[in-house]
Chains A and B, each alone.
Chain A
C-alpha cells in the first residue's frame, strides 16, 4: 500500500471538510455544521469503499467492467426520466429517497477508465506496444455513448472530463503518432464546427468569452469569474483565517462548497493554504503515476493513467477557472469539493490504485 498517497488523500479530505464547513456554516444558523457533518459521513463511506476495493483483486474489476458500464448507462438514462432531479440547471441526479441522491455521471468516470483499459490492454502488434484498431474504434463508441447521455443533462464539464480520459488513454495505449495527429486535427475541427454551427448554448459560449474578457458580462458568468478572483486575491499570502473570509461569508462567489471551493481556500488560507492544496493534489497525481510506473500489467498501467488524466484534468479546470486561466466549467475539485457520489468515485479510484500496488507487490 502507498502510504504517502493515502496520507495526501486524507489531508485533502480534512482540508476539504474544513472548507465545506466554513462555506456552509451560515446556511442555517441553527445547524452550522449540518453540511460539514454530511461531508464527513460521505468521507467515511468513501473510505470504507476505498478499503474494500484496495484489498480486493483488481483483475475482478476488469472482468466486471462491461457490466458496470451497462449499469451506469441505465443510470444515465434514468436521469433523463422523471426519476431524475435537476439541481442548478443540470439534470444529473437520481433521488433515492431519504434525502439522498446519486449522480451517475460521477460514477461514469471510473467505470469508463476501467472499460477503456480493458479494451486497450489487448495489444494488437507483436511487440505488444500498440492497441488493436478495432478496439480503439470500440473505445470511441463507448465514450460516445456516455458523452451523448451526459451532454443531454446537460453537463459540459463532465463531458470534457470524459473526453480527456478517453483521448488520454488511447494515446497512452500506444496508437501511432500519425493517428494522434489525425485525432487532434479531427477534435479541433469538431470543436470549430460546434462553435461556428452554434451547437453550444449561449451560456456556454459566454463562459469562453468571459474568460477572454471578464468585463463582457459583469453580472453573469464574468461576475462569477471576477468574484472568484477577488476572493482568492484578497486572501494574500497568509489568508484571512478560516471562517474569516468576507467574500465567502457574503456568498459573493456561487457554489462555494462544490465547484468553487478553491476560492474559500484562497481567501481564508491565503497563498500558503492554496498552494498546499495544489501541491497535495500534485502528490496524489504523482504517486498514482509512480504506481503506474511500477506495475507490470498493461491493464493496471492504463487504469492508473486514466485516473491521473481524470483527476489532473479536473484539478487544472477547477483551480484554473477560479484564478482566471480556464473557462468557468462545473467540475468538482477531487477530494476537496462537497458531493457524495464524487467522493465515493474518487475514493474507489484511489482504492483501485492501491489494489494494483498491493497486487503487483504480492503477485508480481
Chain B
C-alpha cells in the first residue's frame, strides 16, 4: 500500500498542477487578451446589411413613365463565402444549379471576377457584394434556397428592383443605363464610396448618369446579429432607405414616339444611311420635347448584367454603336441649314434687308468656280428669296467679300470674320451644355482656328514635306500626301478664300450636332436668346414634394435685331410653301398649322450627302423647333424634310394616317404641359 499511496500522491500533484495551468491559461485568454477577443467576436457576429434605396423613375412631362422600376426575386451568391469552403463552393453551386436549372459551368463563369483576360460573363463589380446569378426566379425556388440555408451557405434570394423600359427602344440613348459600380469608379468618384450601397447600380449613360446622385437615393442600413449560418437573430440598428428622387423630364412621350417612328421610316427609305437623329425643342422654354438617335437598341439588355455577346455587339460596327447618340455626339457639316448664320452675319455686317443680291448660276473667285446647286440662276433677288430658294452664289459672294475685306491671304490688324463670329454667337463650336454626358463641341473654322491647327501640326507636316511617306505602298498617293504636307507646312496657317466660301454655305471644316442646330433655330425664331437645352424639368420626391425645378440657362443673345430675325423667320416660313421644301409639303394643310424651315444637303467626301431639315412651327409664333438629320440620306428635301413633316403631322394632327383616318394631335393646340405632373406615392396622378 505504501508504494500505491506514494504514486497516488504524485497523481495528486499532477491534478493540482493541471488546475493551476488551466486557471492561469484562462486568466491569460479571458482577462489579458479578453478585450481583443471581444472585438473579434463582435466582428464575426454582426453583419451590416445595406438595404438598397428604390431608384427614382424617369417621367415624361405629363407624368408618363419613361423608365420605371419593377421588382423581381433575385438570387445572389457571396463569392467570398464560397471561396472559403474547402471545395471552393463547388458543392453549393452544384445544388444551386439543380434548383435554378442553370448549368453549373454557367454559374461558375457568372461569379468570377472580370479582369485582364477574363471577359463576360463575369462580375465587374466589387468582390464584397453579392453577385446576382438569376433573376425572376419563382417563389418556390427562392424558398428552397432560403429554407435550406445549411445547403446554400452564401446564397441569398431577395426582392430587388430592376429598371423597366415601357417603351423599349424609344429614347434609349437619352435615358442611359445602369451598371454595377466598378472598383475604379468607386475610387474615381469621390464620396461615392460612403453613400454607395453594394447592391446598387450606378448610372452609366444618358440621364441615368447625369442625375445619378439624385435618383439613387440613400441606402438603408441594418446592423444585425447573425448566427454561424448567417441567419439573422437580432436587429441591432436599423435606418430605412430613402428612395431616390423622381426625374420629371420635358420629353413628351407621345411626341417622342412620333419622332421615333418618323426616323424609322427615314432609315427604311435610305438603306445606305448609317445614322440619323431628331431633336424637338420647346422654343419658349428651351427644353427638349423629343430626341432620338439611330441606330438604337433596347436598353433592357443591361438589366441584370449584360451578356458578353450583347456588350460586344453594342460596341461593334455591326450594331452601328447605338450607345453614341447622334443627336449630341454626331458631328456633321450642316449644309444650307447653316445659311441662317451666314445671312445673319451679312445683315450684321451691313447688308441691307431691302437690298437686291445677284444669284448667278456660278461664282468665280481666286481662280476657282463655285456652282449653284442644280445650276440655278435667279438673277437679282432679295435675301428673302435667297433663303427660300437656297441660292448658294449669294452666300459665296458674301463670304468671299468678307474674306477680302479682312485682308484676304494677308489679313491686316484684327480681322472681322463676321461669319465665324456669328456662327459662334449661334452657339456652334461649343457644347450646348445639355444634361447628357459625352456631348461633342463640333467645330467652327476661321482664321484663328487655322493658326492653332497649324501650330500643332506644322512640325509633323514640315518633316513629312521633306521625308515624304515612304511607308505608303501606293506611290501616287504617297506623292500626293507629300505635296499636301508641303502645302500645309508652308501655308497651313492661312485662311484661304475657298475655305471662307465653303464655310458660307455650311460646308468645309464646319461641324455641328443636330442639337446645336436645333438650339440655333430656336434662338432665331424665339426670343433671340441662345439657351443651354435641358431634358430634366424637375426633381420630385416620391411623395410629390418638389426638390427643385431644373432651370434652362441662357448663354447669350443673337447679335442681330428682332426685325432682322423676323425677316429671316418669314423667309423660312415660305420654304415649305414655295421654296425648296414645297414639293415635300405638298398637300400639307397649312390651315391647321403653318410651318417654316430650311433644307440642308451637306456633301461628305467619299460618302453620300448628309440630309438635313431644320423646321419650326407655328411659323407665325413658333413654339417648337424640329431638326432631323439623316447621315448619308441624300438631299435634305428628299429624306429629312419628309421626316419632319411627319413629326408636325403627328404633333398637330394634320392629314390622315396610314389607316386613312385623321391623325389625332399628340399635343392638341400645340401646347406642351405647362405645369409639372402631380405625383403621389411615386406615380403621377392624372
Query: Which residue in A129, A227, A271 is a CB contact (below 8 Å) of B2?
Result: A129
- Contact string, A298-313, partner B, CB cutoff 8 A, digits 1/0? 1001101100110010
- Select from chain A the residue with minimum beta-carbon distance to B30: A271
Contact among B3, B30, B41 with A237 in the assembled complex (CB-CB below 8 Å): B30
Query: From residue 249 to 298 of chain A, which have CB atoms closer than 8 A to chain B?
Result: 249-252, 266, 270-271, 274-275, 278-279, 281-282, 285-286, 289, 292-293, 296, 298
A-facing residues in B529-569 (Cβ within 8 Å): none
**Pair A271/B45 contact, Cβ less than 8 Å:** no
| Stretch from A145-153, A207-215, A315-323, A337-345 that touches the partner | A315-323
Cβ contact within 8 Å between A171 and B15: no
> Of A132-140, A190-198, A228-236, which stretch is located at the interface?
A228-236
The stretch of B223-231, B237-245, B281-289 that contacts the partner chain: B223-231
- Indicate if B8 sits at the interface (CB-CB under 8 A): yes
Binding site secondary structure of chain B: helix
A128 CA / B85 CA spacing, docked (Å): 60
Query: A271-B26, A320-B22 in contact; A229/B8 too (CB < 8 A)?
Result: no
**Closest beta carbon of chain B to A283's beta carbon, Å:** 9
Counting contact residues on chain B (CB < 8 A from A), the size range is 35 or more
Q: Is the CB of B3 within 8 A of A130?
A: yes
Q: How far is the CB of B115 from chain A (nearest CB, A)?
A: 25
A234 touches B40 (CB 8 A): yes
> What's the least CB distance linking B613 to chain A, in Å?
69
A279 to B94, CA, bound (A): 50
The interface residues of chain A lying within 8 Å CB-to-CB of B8 are 172, 289, 292-293, 301, 304-305
Interface-centre pick from B15, B45, B225 (highest chain A CB count, 10 A):
B15
Q: Which residues of A lie under 8 Å from residue B23 when comparing CB positions?
A: 275, 278-279
Are A316 and B18 closer than 8 Å at their CB atoms? yes
Q: Does A205 contact B (CB under 8 A)?
A: no
Please, which residues of chain A bring their CB within 8 A of the CB of B22?
Answer: 278, 315-316, 319-320, 323
Indicate the member of A231, A281, A285 with the most B CB atoms within 10 Å: A285
Q: Is B476 an interface position by the 8 A CB rule?
A: no
* C-alpha gap A233/B43 in the complex (Å): 14
A173 interface hit (Cβ, 8 Å): yes
Is A229 a contact partner of B29 (Cβ separation < 8 A)?
yes
A interface size (C-beta, 8 A): 58
Residues of B1-39 contacting chain A, CB below 8 A:
1-5, 7-9, 11-12, 14-16, 18-19, 21-23, 25-27, 29-31, 33-38
Distance of A229 Cα from B11 Cα, bound (Å) = 28
A330 at the interface (CB under 8 A from B): no
Contacts of A232 in B (CB 8 A): 26, 29-30, 37
List of A residues within 8 angstroms of B33 by Cβ: 233
The residues of A that contact B30 with a CB separation of less than 8 Å are 232-233, 235-237, 266, 270-271, 274
- Within the complex, what minimum Cβ distance (angstroms) separates A256 from chain B? 11
User: Which residues of B have CB within 8 Å of A144?
Assistant: none
Q: Nearest Cβ distance between residue B29 and chain A, in whole angstroms?
A: 5
B positions within 8 Å CB-CB of A: 1-5, 7-9, 11-12, 14-16, 18-19, 21-23, 25-27, 29-31, 33-38, 40-42, 44-45, 84-86, 225-229, 233
Q: What 12 new A-B contacts, CB under 8 Å, besides A230-B37, A312-B15, A316-B22?
A: A230-B41, A233-B34, A233-B36, A237-B31, A249-B227, A252-B44, A279-B19, A281-B19, A286-B12, A301-B1, A323-B26, A325-B21
